[in-house]
Amino acid sequence: MPTPTLEDVARHAGVSTATVSRAINTPDRVQEQTRLRVEAAIKTLSYTPNFGGQALASRRTNTVGAVIPTMDNAIFGQALQVLEESLAREGVTLLVATSQYNREREEAQVRALVGRGVDGLILIGAERPPAIYDMLDQRELPYVILWVSSGEGRHVTIGFDNDAAARMVVQRVYDAGHRKIAMIVGVNAGNDRAMKRAEGARKMCAELGLPALRIVESSYTLEAGEYAAQQILSNGERPTAIICGNDVLAAGAIFAARKLGLDVPRDLSIVGFDDIDLARVTLPPLTTVRVPHRRMGRTAARHILDWIRSDQRPDSVVYDAEWVERQSLAPPAM
Amino acid sequence: MPTPTLEDVARHAGVSTATVSRAINTPDRVQEQTRLRVEAAIKTLSYTPNFGGQALASRRTNTVGAVIPTMDNAIFGQALQVLEESLAREGVTLLVATSQYNREREEAQVRALVGRGVDGLILIGAERPPAIYDMLDQRELPYVILWVSSGEGRHVTIGFDNDAAARMVVQRVYDAGHRKIAMIVGVNAGNDRAMKRAEGARKMCAELGLPALRIVESSYTLEAGEYAAQQILSNGERPTAIICGNDVLAAGAIFAARKLGLDVPRDLSIVGFDDIDLARVTLPPLTTVRVPHRRMGRTAARHILDWIRSDQRPDSVVYDAEWVERQSLAPPAM
DNA sequence: TTGTATGCGTTATCAC
DNA sequence: GTGATAACGCATACAA
């Protein structure tokens, strides 16, 4: 016996398909008795509504899509986890796709999700081809952007100020006494979070009267971070502190330092960004910046659902990024 | 203008909807010239196929669903990442849902995905209510189970032998000279991976003539692991080695040891399981067992697609779990 | 190669 | 309250 349809249920319960549909979607609009008959039929046939049919007829999918750069590390895991839970609680399914930090791939994924009829979209960062936003606007598809604070009024963003956070990091490192600072940051192209962090740090250095900040771009793996740090530590004047665009890079930098026989933080301070699990277990534990993962996830869920249901565009939200002092930052040795 | 449909494209290109459909799905069956006209129309209208319509008409969704315990840590991230990439390369979208290590929730998620018409399903572990398997069988829905090796012939599994891996760990720890061993393992209920690991370790201890292995169940967070280790180290006879059911728990155990002033591995050896990123950055770096994350992801993609497309159930695959020696295991102090 | 016509499973608009 | 029945957007068998 193939998958049962609404019609099978109707036949089984001795009613029309319309009644079955009502019994499912608006149980109050159906007599108690018939409702029970329908429910029984559904159970015995173990009927599940066909998604395609539902989507086609109701023009809604109860689905929200999210495109994140990667699932390979824990950076987006927490936010996603909370997002998923919050949506599930409202009967909405989350579809997750990844872009591998790649522009074209992200565009394709957005289109794929839109094509699947998602009722709303969660995106990371605001930097992407305008054509995408045009498409979303044209379809009046609600979307919310996480991890940044400036949608320049055009977008609903739920995040934090990467620029300000990076400035804070530099300030703290400066306050600890460091004057020779370098930075490792994720590839900037198409990644406004990385870019803003680099920019903020650069400007803050300038404001503090430090020499131009040396910034090395790196891809997003532990090994890449290690390699970048090794470059920094082997060529040119050696910094006393390295600021990293995320915790994975920072962990890599710790490796590089250790291999060169440098003690962290005595010989070299290293600061991370994100505060993922990993930041607590490195040795020394990473001094880093805590990103409001869970709050972003929860708020994103609420906002996108509000928007979908009320058809009213919600406001942007800016959370604070929090300085987390552990043990990888110390005053420089004399 | 609302979302354009196939008909809009057809009108725009001066052809029939059938031709547009063909131009999209079987471009070779359409004249170069008309194809170009259609493509132009698609572009100017920024048309995207309606998923519901597609699904309804073709009775396929080009979608594979996966239910994993959590996205909150990196344990499943790598496999999922590879899975997603491999599927995407074939034009198939991956839907990810999480169960929070919770039976009921997992069942609900499976049903939700089935309801959405996934063409196939990826599951973690074989332990779940038979009703679920019955439903999948009834619908003849292909599904592949990861992270375990024994589907007892009933299921297609792609994984490794958790029992054997745990035995190997015990053997190695024993070989290092340890005789007082304890274990922290993830909650067993509904988690056959955790259960098998506990079982394997227990039996191996027995075979080696060691006293009954003390096993503490713990939930899956760093903090829980820390707490469990603290219990082990504070009550009863203190072991010289703690075997952990996963790396997160092991990292927690390292914390606990440090807080008690114990040096790892001098005073206490700790062994992890999984070899996620985190395992390399702890101090000391974790001696652990490498799970074939990427191979499982890749093979799962291939197998599920084969099954979907050929309608022939593929074979199960067993990979080896690999011992990874780092620095958290050493002979016990005298 | 292209067009016509039908059906996919559900919801929603009508009558009854 | 309930039952016909018309969309919904697409793929496909069939005809041309």
Read off the pLDDT of residues B270-323 as tens digits, 9 standing for 90 and up: 999 999 989 998 989 999 999 999 999 999 999 999 999 888 999 999 999 999
pLDDT value, residue A62 = 85
- Interface with A, mutate which of B95, B105, B116 (most A CBs under 10 A): B116
Residue A25: its pLDDT value, please? 86
Q: For residue B265, say if its preceding peptide bond is cis, omega within 30 degrees of 0.
A: yes
Q: What is the pLDDT of residue A319?
A: 97
In terms of average pLDDT, the best of A56-65, A158-167, B114-123 is A158-167
**Per-residue pLDDT, A209:** 96
Helix axis angle, B162-175 to B192-207, nearest 10° = 40
User: Per-residue pLDDT averaged across A164-188, rounded?
Assistant: 96
pLDDT of residue B271: 98
Higher pLDDT, A42 or A296: A296
Mean per-residue pLDDT over chain A, rounded? 92
Reported as a pLDDT band with limits 50, 70 and 90, residue A216 is very high
In this complex, which of B3, B74, B280 lies closest to A74 when CB atoms are compared?
B74
pLDDT at A121 over 90: yes
Q: What percent of chain A has pLDDT over 90?
A: 61
Number of helices (H) and strands (E), helices first, in chain A? 13, 12
In the predicted model, what is the mean pLDDT of residues A213-225? 94
Q: Tell me the CB-side half-sphere exposure of residue B69, using CA atoms within 13 A.
A: 25
Task: State which nucleotides on strand D lie below 7 Å from a protein beta carbon.
Answer: 1-5, 7-13
Q: Is A261 on the interface with B (CB under 8 A)?
A: no
Q: Where are the domains of chain A?
A: 6-49, 62-160+293-320, 162-290
Supply the pLDDT for residue A104: 86
Phi/psi at B6 (5° precision): -55, -35
d(CA B222, CA B276): 14
Partner-chain residue, chosen from B49, B56, B77, that has the shortest CB–CB distance to A56: B56
Query: Phi and psi at residue A188, in whole multiples of 5°?
Result: -75, -35
Residue A18 beta carbon within 7 A of nucleic strand D: yes
Q: Which CATH class is domain B62-160+293-320?
A: alpha beta
Residues in chain B within 8 Å Cβ distance of A68: none
Q: What is the CATH number of domain B162-290?
A: 3.40.50.2300
pLDDT in tens, B63-88: 899 999 988 878 898 899 999 989 98
pLDDT, residue B310, reads 86
Buried b (16+ CB within 10 A) or exposed e, B317-331: bebebebbebebbbe
Burial class (CB in 10 A: 0-12, 13-18, 19+), B312: exposed
Which tokens go with B326? 């780092």
Average pLDDT over residues B149-156: 84
Residue A251 has pLDDT above 60, yes or no: yes
Q: Kindly tell me if the per-residue pLDDT of B228 is higher than 60.
A: yes
Best residue of A56, A58, A71 to probe chain B, by most B CBs closer than 10 Å: A71
Range of lowest pLDDT (A230-234, B254-258, B261-265, B309-313):
B309-313
- Is the CB of residue B277 less than 8 Å away from at least one CB of chain A? yes
Read off the pLDDT of each residue in A168-184 and give the average, rounded to a whole number: 97
Residue B52 contacts A where some CB pair is shorter than 8 Å = yes
Query: Is the CB of residue B17 inside 7 Å of nucleic acid strand C?
Result: yes
Q: Cβ of B50 < 7 Å from strand D?
A: yes
Tokens of A210: 């430090």
pLDDT at residue B56 in the model: 85
**Stretch 145-174 of chain B: residues touching chain A, C-beta under 8 Å:** none
Q: Does B133 touch chain A (CB under 8 A)?
A: no
Q: How far apart are CA B332 and CA B272, in angstroms?
A: 17
Please give the structure tokens belonging to residue B125: 């572990």
C8 C1' – A208 CA distance, angstroms? 67
**CB B203: neighbour CB atoms within 10 A?**
15
CA distance B193 to chain A (A): 21
Smallest CA–C1' distance to D6, residue: A57
d(CA B316, CA B17): 43
pLDDT greater than 70 at residue B216:
yes
Q: Which residues of B touch A94 (CB under 8 A)?
A: 96-97
User: How crowded is residue A207: how many other Cβ atoms within 10 Å of its Cβ?
Assistant: 12
Residue-level pLDDT at A1: 55
pLDDT at B90 over 60: yes
- Do B62-160+293-320 and B162-290 come out as alike in CATH topology? yes
- Please give residues of chain B from 2 to 41 whose alpha-adjacent beta carbon (CB) lies under 7 Å from any atom of strand D: 3, 5-7, 17-18, 21-22, 24-25
Residue A44's pLDDT is: 86
Q: Which nucleotide is nearest to A8 (CA to C1')?
A: C9
The mean per-residue pLDDT over the stretch A242-260 comes to: 95
Residue B264 has pLDDT above 60, yes or no: yes
Tell me if chain A has a CB within 8 Å of the CB of B328.
no
Mapping DSSP to helix (H, G, I), strand (E, B) and coil, where does residue A220 land? coil
CA B295 to C1' D14, whole Å: 46
CATH code of A6-49, in short, is 1.10.260.40
State the pLDDT confidence band at A163, using cuts at 50, 70 and 90: very high
Q: What angle do CA B218, A286, B231 make, to 5 degrees?
A: 25
Would you call B46 and A281 a contact, using CB atoms and an 8 Å cutoff? Answer: no
Distance CA B268, CA B173 (A): 12
Does position A114 have pLDDT exceeding 70, yes or no? Answer: yes
Q: Is A138 on the interface with B (CB under 8 A)?
A: yes
Closest CA to B65 of B82, B80, B47: B80
Distance A13 CA to D13 C1' (A): 34
Give the nearest chain B residue to A133 (CA atoms). B46
Closest-lying nucleotide for A28 based on CA to C1' = D1
Kindly list the distances between the CA atom of residue A229 and the CA atoms of A186, A192, A217, A238, B272, in Å, as whole numbers in the listed order: 13, 22, 10, 10, 28
Mean pLDDT of the A302-308 span: 93
Contacts with A139 from chain B: Cβ below 8 Å = 2-3
Q: What is the pLDDT of residue B151?
A: 67
Which residues of chain A neighbour B9 with C-beta distances below 8 Å? none
Residues B26-65 as b/e (b if ≥16 CB within 10 A, e otherwise) read: eeeebeeebbebbbebbeebebbbbbbebbbeeeebbbbb
The answer to whether the CB atoms of A98 and B81 lie below 8 A apart is yes
Task: Report the b/e string of A14-27 with b at 16+ CB within 10 A.
Answer: ebeeebbbbbbeee
Q: Residue B73: its chain A contacts at CB < 8 A?
A: 74, 77, 277
Cβ-Cβ contacts under 8 Å between A and B: the total is 149
CA of A21 to C1' of D3 (A): 12
* From A203-207, A238-242, B280-284, B322-326, the region with the lowest mean pLDDT: B280-284
Out of A107-116, A224-233, B42-51, B174-183, which region has the weakest mean confidence (pLDDT)? A107-116
- The 10s digit of each residue's pLDDT in B167-208 is 999 999 999 999 999 999 999 888 999 999 999 999 999 999
What is the pLDDT at residue A55?
A: 86
Top-confidence residue, A100 or A177: A177
> For chain A, how many residues are written?
334
Q: Which nucleotides of C are covered by protein (CB under 7 A)?
A: 1-5, 7-13
Report the amino acid identity of residue B285: P
Q: Read off the pLDDT band of A58 (50, 70, 90).
A: confident
Question: Does A61 score more than 60 pLDDT?
Answer: yes
Minimum-distance nucleotide, CA of B56 to C1'? C8
pLDDT at B1 over 60: no
**pLDDT score of A256:** 95
Which pLDDT band, with edges at 50, 70 and 90, does A50 fall under? confident
Q: Give the burial class of A35: count Cβ atoms within 10 A of its Cβ; 0-12 exposed, 13-18 middle, 19 or more buried.
A: buried
> If 0-12 CB within 10 Å is exposed, 13-18 middle and 19+ buried, where does residue B115 land?
middle
Residues B271, B288: Cα–Cα separation, whole Å: 5
